[in-house]
Structure 1
Amino acid sequence: MTDSQPVEAEFVWTRRHTLIVVVICAALVLDTIDISVMNVALPRIKDHLGFSEAGLSWVVNGYLVTFGGFLLLCGRVGDILGHRRVLLAGLVVFAVASLVAGLAPDPATLVAMRAAQGVGAALISPMTLALLARTFPEGPRAKAIAAWGIAAGLSGAFGLIVGGLLTVGPGWRWIFLINVPVSVVVILGVLRWLDRDRRAGRSTQRFDLVGSVASTLGVALLTVAIVQSSQEGWDSAQIIAPFIIGLALIAYFVLHEGRVAKDPLLPFSLIRIPNVAGANVTQALVGSGMFAMLYIATLYQQEVLHYGPLETGLGYIPQTLVILATAQQTPKLVDAYGMRLTVIGGAIIAAIGMALLALSGPHGSYLVNILGPSVVIGVGMALTFLPLSLAAGTGVPDDQQGVASGLINVSRVTGGALGLSVVAALAAGYTNHQSKTGTATVTALNDGFQFGFIVAAGLLLLSAFTALLLPRKQAGAPAAG
């Protein structure tokens, strides 16, 4: 396959292309689902392995730190060494780490393997979008990325469902062990259906070692500070030190990339593309709202309504179905109204759903307080997936698709971690304030969750404003998608 215009004009979608999309989406789901799949299983893991309260958070945070920290570097590695080759390496790392995590005898082993899973996920995630951009020309690309966006959108809610089923069924260890056979199937699919990497021009590219170290450590330290802030508080040295060092490294990274690096890890020409910059800022805010919603709504159901893991997980099925149905119609909306209006509409709808969640009370119910708002949020979220994914890669050269995909995933994961941490900290702080005034425990918890939902709604409304950075109409998103 070449990149010449005649080939693109003669492109015909075949069964093989459908299988390529299925394989790539399966690889994406493997790493994105592991962000949320742990939430409903954490109480069981704590009891079985003897985690402390502070240590338990690192079952989730250990994954986010390495995932967010290595995304840019891994995206660039794929551009240089080949997207297919790096995808296979990531799947192997992810499978091995999942196997050891499933057999972990103690907390330290589990947290270490969660960090290793994060590295594998950072190798996988940027390659998925880059391979779609490489395989499909502009027109059919919208159809492929629509499926990619559906898979990404469904992963959060679907992870809670799977986590609940496995936790009350074969046990929490199968949350990890099930990744092994699935990874093997995906690896076989990659070997069978995806073209080998092209070698042309790759020898002229070099690794930006200094930029790689600065960006990876900087993002990782910022993520550590963010995810720990809800427990330690922003006045703690354990938060201030990594936060300041992380910011300093990011600042140096920007200076290095703009003035020193001959072959930069993050070419500034990429950020100057308006749709790329707008997509990343908006994705960070949308991700923060979505991460916060899944986390707080899950805690509300388990700690206030006293639902079990299975009940909580199954409660997200309607939202999952709504995301699937809405995402299938999103390409037509993008074609009719453009990326900007579609994302703005989606963000506002999601914010309304989040505000409805804030009406939940200590004696609420699933049908009254969870079902309707979660469905509304699902519609809003689905309307943002495709246009933001298209904007992040449209107009980007093939040899920068990996880093462009890594960048949008950094925005999603780091934005999600930041939003989750800020919302969780504010919710916990308000709960503590209510408790000190003599409010009953359940009511205080509910008040904190309500406040968290309001903050998350504000973040989603803010994303509607940043979506104004997106172009009114984006080529390459026809209704044929």
Structure 2
Amino acid sequence: MKSINPTRSSRSLSATRSGAALTVLAGAQFVVTLSTSVVNVALPAVRDGVGLSDSGMSWVVNAYGLAFGALLLSGGRAADLLGRRRVLLAGLALFAVASTTAGLASMAWLLIGARTAQGIGAAAVAPAALALVMQLFPPGPGRGKALGVWGAVSGAGGAAGVLAGGLLTQSLGWPWIFHVSGIGAALVCAAAAALLPATALPAAGARRIDLAGTLAVTLGLVALVHGLTAARRSGWTDPLVLTSLIAAAVLLLLFVLVERRHPAPLIPPRLLTTGTVAPANLVMTLLGAVWVGLFFFLPLYQQQVLGAGPLEAGLSQLPLAAANMLGSSLAPRLAGRLGAHVTLAAALLTQAAGLLWLSRISAQGTFPTDLLGPTVVIGLGLGIGFVQLTSAAVAGVNPADAGLAGGLVNTTRQIGGAIGLAVLGTLAASTTAGAAPHASTAEALTEGYQAAFLVSAALIAAGAALTPLLARRAARPAAPDQRPTAPHAATPHSPPTPPPCADASPTG
């Protein structure tokens, strides 16, 4: 009889459990990124369905973005202090309920309120899920592959949202863009409850909450994102925009002052001085600015200039999504051969080259001649760059701060997107207005989009120029108090203790 090696069987079981857990966590990330873009092509139908004004229609997008961007840091810290699995389940449950409510809404206030609740749920899900990935996959090839999956899902979710928005709106009606998100979140919540290992809480003395800092940074980020969003619509000199930006500056300065005095600050100084956390987040801000702008301007060019419908515009995102997924899967292998920072620099320069190519679009263009080549190049660079930056932003972080590190890298990407869209949107609009007197509408719009893509290429090239800073920080030895300590969380081999999705028991 053939003997069974118990060690080998244990390893196989561990790999199976880790693979199932990664699938669940990637599913959570997919739901969040899908819901960020699924609304865009359905906005006219949503407006007619609930009787929204033009300004109210923008709040269907802005309410989600404001809550998501402002609460990511708080969500990450809550995951570290209250249990990552528990916060993930609570966030998914809230997201599912809010999505279903949005699909059933017949009044504008209820829809916008549900979108706000969706953003709050997403702000809990994203950093908690990333922290669990870091916990389940220690540094090494396994983590690299896991982050490759994470990056592929993140990129695919944005493109899939545009496609799903067009398909669902034209076939089943706009409420289904929310119902599908709700069903997806509920399924992931059930799978997470069954498959993810329990996590222990930190010691009671370590669970001090920085309420003043949390309130200051949350309100400051709300004011910042609101001001930047309103600037795209009303201009930088609008009184409401100026008031929001001034309030953001005051609140964020207050946050810095509070953090310097608080014994348990929301963002401990050790986090920003650990490894490559600070420079990686700086480059992620630039990547976020370009990422959000790309998915905003591409569908507009296709629909307003090339005359594509919502479904056609969504389908044309598939090559970009496929290239993004391919780049994400190649990232760990390339980093192993070329080195992490050489790979990152090459990825950013590849993306910059694709954006430069994209800035040559014409008013008489077609998808195969003007968009297919550059979007594939951009997708490859974007997928590789996102994986490498995410890895650099959490490398060497104390396991007790993993949720906060995940919240920080998501925050910088989200805030970068808000800043980038406000700046690029203003640039495109002013360029189009300047071209309008001597060009057709299509030509004037194209000039605006060309300018946005050209500046995007410059921003990503600037990010590539910062990669030597990441290399220097990575080579610097960690201070004794910055070296990773034993995690509070249970090991990946801990048996799962699945509670219901809305469980509030103290076991995380």
TM range (shorter): over 0.9
The equivalent of 1:39 in structure 2 is 40
- Please tell me the residue identity of whatever aligns with 2:379: G
- Please tell me the residue identity of whatever aligns with 2:195: W
The equivalent of 2:355 in structure 1 is 354
| 1: CA distance, partners of 2:69 / 2:468 | 26
The equivalent of 1:458 in structure 2 is 458
The equivalent of 1:371 in structure 2 is 372
The equivalent of 1:422 in structure 2 is 423
The equivalent of 2:491 in structure 1 is none
**By how many angstroms is 1:388 displaced?**
1.0
- Establish whether residue 399 from structure 1 lines up as the match of residue 409 from structure 2: no
| 2: CA distance, partners of 1:273 / 1:153 | 27
The equivalent of 2:165 in structure 1 is 163
Deviation >6 Å, runs of 4+:
472-475
TM, length-normalised to structure 2: 0.88
Gaps of 5+ in 1: 1-6, 476-481
| 1: CA distance, partners of 2:72 / 2:406 | 9
- Please tell me the residue identity of whatever aligns with 1:270: L
- Establish whether residue 444 from structure 1 lines up as the match of residue 444 from structure 2: yes
- Please tell me the residue identity of whatever aligns with 2:180: I
- Please tell me the residue identity of whatever aligns with 2:160: F
**By how many angstroms is 1:473 displaced?**
10
Q: Deviations over 1:2-43 (max 9, x none)?
A: xxxxx9xx9765211111000000001111221111221122
Fraction of identical pairs, as percent: 38
Q: Taking structure 1 as reference, are residues 334 and 95 closer, same or farther at Cα in structure 2, changes over 3 Å only?
A: same
**By how many angstroms is 1:44 displaced?**
2.1
Contact 1:90 1:123 in 2 (8 A): yes
Contact 1:340 1:473 in 2 (8 A): no
| 2: CA distance, partners of 1:168 / 1:202 | 53
The equivalent of 2:471 in structure 1 is 471
Contact 2:327 2:382 in 1 (8 A): no
| 2: CA distance, partners of 1:33 / 1:360 | 27
**63-72 or 338-347: which moved more?**
338-347
Alignment of 1:75-224 (within 5 A): 75-139=76-140, 140-224=142-226
The equivalent of 1:243 in structure 2 is 245
Aligned Cα root-mean-square deviation (Å) = 1.8
Q: Deviations over 1:353-400 (max 9, x none)?
A: 112221111111011111111101001101112211111112111111
Which secondary structure does the structure 2 equivalent of 1:395 belong to?
A: coil
Which secondary structure does the structure 1 equivalent of 2:276 belong to?
A: helix
| 2: CA distance, partners of 1:156 / 1:462 | 24
The equivalent of 2:59 in structure 1 is 58
Q: Taking structure 1 as reference, are residues 395 and 237 closer, same or farther at Cα in structure 2, changes over 3 Å only?
A: same
| 2: CA distance, partners of 1:245 / 1:317 | 41
| 1: CA distance, partners of 2:414 / 2:258 | 24
| 1: CA distance, partners of 2:333 / 2:472 | 15
Contact 1:167 1:175 in 2 (8 A): yes
Larger radius of gyration: 2
Contact 2:81 2:201 in 1 (8 A): no
- Please tell me the residue identity of whatever aligns with 1:150: A
Contact 1:339 1:473 in 2 (8 A): no
Q: Taking structure 1 as reference, are residues 133 and 158 closer, same or farther at Cα in structure 2, changes over 3 Å only?
A: same
- Please tell me the residue identity of whatever aligns with 1:457: A
The equivalent of 1:227 in structure 2 is 229
**By how many angstroms is 1:254 displaced?**
1.4
Which secondary structure does the structure 2 equivalent of 1:226 belong to?
A: helix
**30-39 or 229-238: which moved more?**
30-39
**By how many angstroms is 1:202 displaced?**
4.4
The equivalent of 1:74 in structure 2 is 75
**64-73 or 451-460: which moved more?**
451-460
TM, length-normalised to structure 1: 0.93
| 2: CA distance, partners of 1:473 / 1:143 | 23
In the comparison of the two structures, how many residue pairs are matched?
A: 465
